[in-house]
Chain A
Amino acid sequence: MPVISAAAVEELRLKARKLRQDIITMIYEAASGHPGGALSVLDILVVLYYKVMKIDPGNYLDPQRDRLVLSKGHACPALYAVLADRGFFPSSYLSVLRKIDSPLQGHPDMRKTPGVEMSTGSLGQGLSAANGMALAARLDNSRRRVYVVLGDGEIQEGQVWEAAMTAAHYRLDNLTAFLDYNGLQIDGWIRDVKSPEPVAEKWRAFGWHVLEVEGHDYASLLKAIGRAHTNKGAPTIIIAHTVKGKGVSFMENQIDWHGRAPNKEEYEQALAELQK
């Protein structure tokens, strides 16, 4: 039985198309930022924020809410676009990304942006914080869940593996991690810079329940999340195979688009593609 109807998938696809336009527009207006990773991670966030997470934008500090930590903080334009669309803050915020006095910082700031659960940006730290949130949920005897999104380059940080041991040791089955496996980091393909492979085997060896999906396929993502929810006694990581720059032809799989803004011509071309 499909976990999501074809009509619902189409709805998400249209939503993601609009959010991708928001991402490109934000970064164009900010004249800096990280489009590649924001576009690769977006569909994971779309599934979580529109279909999975128990959250109430009108009461976003509800102690019983689900939490998401965007450990790869540089992808925050995707998170901001989603949070604005879900009503955590006015969409007018998007136009002041990275500008002076802005509620939307260049990397996520939990004290400035409603809906941001943890300040991130210094890579490698988000999984530890998510573990703490999952431990807190357990102490509270709460069924709330914690989600964390890691970058593939990010798992070169040693702290990630310290945290991986912690989550397994404490059997944090209320925690689900996502690996945005787009294969690229700033200096090139991660397999060339410093390969983290074999990725799935590593997480399995660290005691995790490991699933692999196509990271832009909503039905697959939802199915994997469902399996994560029912898995007991171990945390789950969903290795999401994604495309850096997904949705904009000239950005896809191009490392040049890790951390630069489009110029006017590129912006218009990207928008035209996303409006098709």
Chain B
Amino acid sequence: MTEKIATRDAYGKALVELGRRMDKIVVLDADLSKSTKTALFAEEFPLRFFNMGISEADMMGTAAGLAASGYIPFVSTFGVFATGRVFDQIRNSIAYTRLNVKIAATHTGITVGEDGASHQALEDIALMRVLPHMTVVVPADGRQTYQAVEAIAGCEGPVYLRLGRPKVPQVIPEGLPFELGRGQLLREGKDFAFLATGITVGLSLEASQLLERQGINAAVVNIHTIKPLDKDLLLHMAAKTGAFVTVEEHSVIGGLGSAIAELISGNYPIPVIRVGINDTFGESGSPEALLIKYGFTVENLIKAGQTAMEKKR
């Protein structure tokens, strides 16, 4: 296995590289720049970095004003503060206005770990996905984060980029191109498909390898862009496999699983089993212990796959 890297670390480095190439990139943070890794950008480009203090609502509005004047603001803080806390500011000043603001949230999901439920964003995808004009991106590993940051800097309009705290292994093959809105078929299969996002992509690949020994061919698709969904690929996979298991480090309400169920129910109805946080808040603990307690295990994924296959008609 290659070196592990946290997606937030990759984000911080990618920002610096982009900052050298694109002078319109500015960065705002709300007193968490050491954790979100925007401190790297601040160090190299102090005049293009704005520490807004602990005032996230104002930070979102300021970013909107910068974007309205031609800048490309990347706005960072933890996921809970980057979405729910400032939902109305994002809705009215960023999404409704279609301004070119990139919200890059770190510390999302249960793997925030020891800080506990107050800091674990488990509903951020749902909140951002419901907003018109918003693009929602969840990279699977460090390398993909580089690609995603570059892609969203080059696209026009608001984006929510979901990043994580812990170091994670590289799971996306090197050289695989990244395109916003296009899923990545990482493993072919015909019995059912894992549709995973973020750090659950690696787990899904592991589960599919174990399943293969049992004679079950599970496909694995990385849905790094949750909005807009890759409709063509998903409908193709639905026809090919006849059953889906969605996997996300997020509530099963409103996130990837919901998005796919919404698409599938109206276009190609097949069973969709959703693996995620089951309508509950998180708690303190190590990321590893939390992942096990909340069902992000190979065993649980295999069980979900079996359920999905049983429900096939």
> Footprint of B on A, CB under 8 Å?
63, 67, 69, 109-111, 117-122, 124-137, 139-140, 158-159, 162-163, 165-166, 169-170
Contact = CB atoms under 8 A, between A and B. Distances in A.
A132 B66 contact: yes
A118 B48 CA distance: 22
A110 B68 CA distance: 10
Nearest to B60: A128
Interface residues of B, number: 31
A128 B61 contact: yes
Given A63-B70, A125-B89, A139-B71, A166 B65 contact: no
A154 B245 CA distance: 48
Interface stretch (B92-100, B191-199, B211-219): B92-100
B69 to A, nearest CB: 3
B17 to A, nearest CB: 20
Contact of A125 (B53, B61, B66, B98): B61
Contacts of B63: 132
Given A119-B97, A129-B64, A162 B70 contact: no
Contacts of B47: 139
Interface string B81-93: 0000000110111
A166 B98 contact: no
B223 interface: no
A63 B69 CA distance: 7
B57 A158 contact: yes
30 contacts: A109-B96, A110-B97, A117-B68, A118-B65, A118-B68, A118-B93, A122-B91, A122-B92, A128-B62, A128-B64, A129-B62, A131-B58, A131-B62, A132-B62, A132-B68, A132-B73, A134-B65, A135-B65, A136-B70, A139-B71, A140-B69, A158-B57, A159-B57, A159-B61, A162-B55, A162-B58, A163-B62, A166-B53, A166-B55, A170-B50
A27 to B, nearest CB: 23
Contacts of B68: 110, 117-118, 129, 132-133, 136
Contacts of A169: 53
A129 B73 CA distance: 12
Interface in B114-166: none
B274 to A, nearest CB: 33
B93 A119 contact: yes
A132 B53 contact: no
Contacts of A117: 68
B58 A159 contact: yes
Contacts of A69: 65
B6 interface: no
A136 B58 contact: no
B14 interface: no
